[in-house]
Amino acid sequence: MTSRSTTSYDVAQLAGVSQPTVSRAFDPKGNISPSTRARVLEAARQLGYQPNAIARGLTTQRTDIVGLIMGNINRSLFYPKVLVEFTRRLQALGKQVLLFNTHESRPVDEIMPRIMSYQVDALVIASTTPGRELIDRFTSMGTPVVMLNRTVPQTSANAVASDNEAGGRLVADFLFDGRHQRIAFMAGVDVTATNALRKKGFADRLRERGYGAFREEQGEYTYDSGYEAALRLLDRDDPPDAIFCAADIMALGAMDAARFKLGIKIPDELSVVGYDDIPMAKWPTYDLTTIHQSAARLVETAVELIFPENNEPASGQVVLLPGELIQRGSAKAPPG
């Protein structure tokens, strides 16, 4: 008998159980004893049977697929970590990830009909921001929506994010306490909530501590944009003595521009601080001081919002995860 002609009823007959028991045996959350599950799986192995996920979805009204929308996934080294963590965590729950990659020049709402056609059990949106209509249409159908590292106010979507504003305040205190006199901020993509909140926390805290206006240059969350923005900041008569970059990848570009193009010594003449704590930040070449945000904690919290233990998904809940200032060699530490 081939796997093409084998059905769950054949497996049930060989294992001496009912057909619904076979279905439960292939469901990681199925209510079934370990010995019965083992007997069913052994019968399936002997018959070469594989369950049809699509057919099971028609029966259970559940596809076990979670849609994940990401914008320009190759632009940041942080979000590939998020993708890996989501895939690992959801597969452990018997779920699969369906990835949709978008570009900032095209609104994420354009792909909404295609996403809906897959009837995903939940939708996670990262590194891009949809309109309220997209979110409301999904939640009205009972599909949980979780925003990752951004929020859309006045919607039923849940959100989990690094506390970007608090992270910006940590950097402001670190540089102010380090007695830097000419502080600059290197922005990421200006329209993103992460950039706006990091800048707000940074600016508000400097203002609270009596520091005047700081300089700013625009980047785009890329190495090249960080390199070029650093040249614009530093190649002048009164260059900054500290730069807070809205993302690590820009900070790496800024460091290389300062050291190799302009001959500036880091951290003796210039302190550089990033945000994200990507793997390259730890490389001895950079040894970047940064705000650490955990991809694993973001993903774990998002999954808990989608599949809570009480089986009742939350609605409109916002969870902010604190970041941690990691002091390395790219910036002068405050005295003492």
pLDDT means per 10 residues in the chain (336 residues)?
Answer: 65 87 75 87 84 54 79 74 89 86 65 75 78 74 82 77 95 96 91 87 96 91 94 93 96 97 96 95 97 92 84 76 96 90
For residue 168, which amino acid is it?
Answer: G
Q: What is the three-class DSSP state of 272?
A: strand
pLDDT of residue 207: 96
Q: Where in the chain is the domain with CATH 1.10.260.40?
A: 1-47
Q: Copy the structure tokens of residue 281.
A: 């930040």
* Arch. (CATH architecture) of 65-162+295-322: 3-Layer(aba) Sandwich (3.40)
* Arch. (CATH architecture) of 1-47: Orthogonal Bundle (1.10)
Q: Of the candidates 235, 227, 226, 175, which has an alpha carbon nearest to the alpha carbon of residue 201?
A: 175
* Class of domain 164-293 as given by CATH: alpha beta
Q: Where in the chain is the domain with CATH 3.40.50.2300?
A: 65-162+295-322, 164-293
What is the number of H-type helices and E-type strands within the chain?
Answer: 12, 12
pLDDT of residue 74: 65
Question: What's the whole-model pTM score?
Answer: 0.77
pLDDT of residue 209: 95
User: How far lies 207's CA from each of 74, 169, 200, in Å?
Assistant: 35, 11, 10
pLDDT of residue 61: 55
- CA-CA distance, 53 to 224, in Å (whole number)? 44
